[in-house]
């Protein structure tokens, strides 16, 4: 299993939140406030909230699931 760093998890969460937009939505300084398990939980919840997806969206999300 490929263990992600806090920085990688925050980057994934940022991508999930800002999907379809170019600008960053999360301040990287948040790393100091969240534990790794909290970031994993956030990422999991974001992935679970995905509703009806296009094939393109599903392919895009697969990049995050391979780390689970």
User: How far is residue 31's CA from residue 9's CA, in Å, rounded to a whole number?
Assistant: 10
Whether 68 shows a pLDDT value over 60: the answer reads: no
User: How far is residue 17's CA from residue 47's CA, in Å, rounded to a whole number?
Assistant: 10
> 44-65, pLDDT tens digit by residue?
887 777 665 677 777 777 777 6
> 8-36, pLDDT tens digit by residue?
888 888 877 776 666 666 777 777 788 88
The 10 Å Cβ neighbour count of residue 62 is: 9
Contacts of 19 (CB under 8 A, 6+ apart): 60
């Amino acid at each position: 299993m490929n263990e992600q760093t806090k920085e990688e998890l925050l980057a994934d969460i940022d991508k999930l939140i800002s999907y379809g937009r170019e600008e960053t939505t999360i301040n990287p300084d948040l790393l100091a406030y969240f534990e790794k398990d909290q970031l994993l939980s956030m990422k999991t919840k974001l992935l679970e909230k995905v509703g009806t997806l296009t094939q393109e969206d599903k392919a895009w999300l697969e990049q995050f699931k391979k780390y689970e």
